Amino acid sequence: MITLHFTNTDGKAHSLQVEENPTSSLMELLVEHHMDIAAVCGGIAGCGTCHIQVQKGLEKLHSPEDDEVFMLDTLPNYTPQSRLSCQLPLTQALDGMEFLIKGDGA
């Protein structure tokens, strides 16, 4: 089981417990649970609408690939803690992490 903690765009905190599923992304989980993620491009790192900021646990993540870095650089509120949730598989590495949902890249 993976436990994830989120703060939505309205400031409301949520926690989810899910099974590990490396073929699914964090973005898909957020969409499924009606969090503030538009996921316009469907998960190909092409739009930034699944932008999140890692509040706790960034060191547990793999480094972003070039496509993700390029997209993140275009976002107005990009920080060193920014990631695209579509690029994060639901693996044990995410367990206990805390995320701030940025959603539309704003």
Is there a contact between 85 and 37 (Cβ–Cβ < 8 Å)? Answer: yes
* pLDDT greater than 70 at residue 96: yes
What pLDDT digit, counting tens, does each position of 15-62 carry? Answer: 999 999 999 999 999 999 998 898 999 999 999 999 999 999 999 999
Number of domains comprising the chain = 1
Residue 101 has pLDDT above 70, yes or no: yes
The CATH number of the domain where 9 resides is what? Answer: 3.10.20.30
Q: Which residue range is the domain that position 13 belongs to? A: 2-103
